[in-house]
């Protein structure tokens, strides 16, 4: 331990003893002029410390920026983005979207309608799994024969896979009992 700290600690203890028992100061032979001198020195030292603190620049720390919460992916968002991007007609992206939609349709028919997997696939190929001709056209080779003439004419005029996928996804969600509130 530092020798000055030990000396200072000892003097503090003597000072406390003298303050507690004033007659001890007379026994030690301490004069009042000595007490005044120690008081003046303590006062000057205290003022010096205050002035030194006033000249020191005030530093302030900024709190760290809080972390932003991470957004968790929402199931189906990639599917929706794929359809909205209009890439349903192109290569691997379109095939992947079609496969995911077909898998969801088979699962919905198996669990929602009580069909076997083979029956569900046959219903998808025949277009008999739904009353919506656009949704049925997604998995069949074109618009089913039972569709109204204006739907068949429109399907011949332009092949709108985005409409088919969107309508099929909505029909699958209806069969599976999925709502927007879920």
Reported as a single tens digit per residue, the pLDDT across 66-123 is 888 888 877 767 666 766 666 555 567 677 777 888 888 899 889 888 888 899 888 8
Identify which of 163, 132, 167 has the alpha carbon closest to the alpha carbon of residue 147. Answer: 132
pLDDT at residue 23, as a whole number: 80
Confidence label for 162 from pLDDT (cuts 50, 70 and 90): confident
pLDDT at residue 159, as a whole number: 67
Express as a percent the part of the chain with pLDDT over 90.
1
CB atoms within 10 A of CB 62: 5
pLDDT at residue 90, as a whole number: 57
pLDDT at residue 137, as a whole number: 81
Rounded Cα gap, residues 112 and 102, in angstroms: 15
pLDDT at residue 87, as a whole number: 58
- Across the range 153-176, mean pLDDT stands at 78
Share the mean pLDDT of the chain: 78
- What phi, psi does 87 have (nearest 5°)? -95, 20
Rounded Cα gap, residues 89 and 86, in angstroms: 7
**Global model pTM greater than 0.75:** no
Do 86 and 162 form a contact (C-beta atoms < 8 A)?
yes
Rounded Cα gap, residues 2 and 53, in angstroms: 25
- Asked whether residue 145 carries a pLDDT value surpassing 70, the answer given is yes
């Amino acid at each position: 331990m530092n020798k000055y700290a030990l000396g200072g600690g000892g003097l503090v203890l003597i000072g406390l003893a003298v303050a507690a028992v004033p007659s001890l100061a007379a026994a030690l032979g301490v004069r009042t002029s000595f007490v005044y001198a120690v008081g003046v020195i303590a006062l000057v030292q205290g003022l010096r410390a205050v002035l030194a603190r006033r000249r020191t620049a005030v530093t302030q720390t900024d709190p760290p920026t809080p972390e932003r919460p991470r957004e968790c992916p929402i199931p189906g968002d990639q599917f929706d983005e794929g359809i909205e991007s209009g890439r349903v007609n192109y290569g691997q992206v379109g095939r992947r979207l079609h496969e995911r939609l077909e898998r969801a349709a088979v699962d919905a028919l198996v669990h929602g309608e009580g069909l076997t997997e083979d029956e569900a696939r046959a219903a998808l190929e025949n277009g008999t799994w739904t009353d919506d001709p656009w949704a049925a056209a997604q998995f069949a080779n074109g618009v089913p024969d039972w569709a109204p003439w204006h739907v068949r004419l429109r399907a011949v005029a332009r092949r709108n896979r985005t409409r088919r996928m969107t309508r099929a996804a909505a029909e699958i969600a209806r069969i599976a009992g999925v709502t927007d509130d879920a």
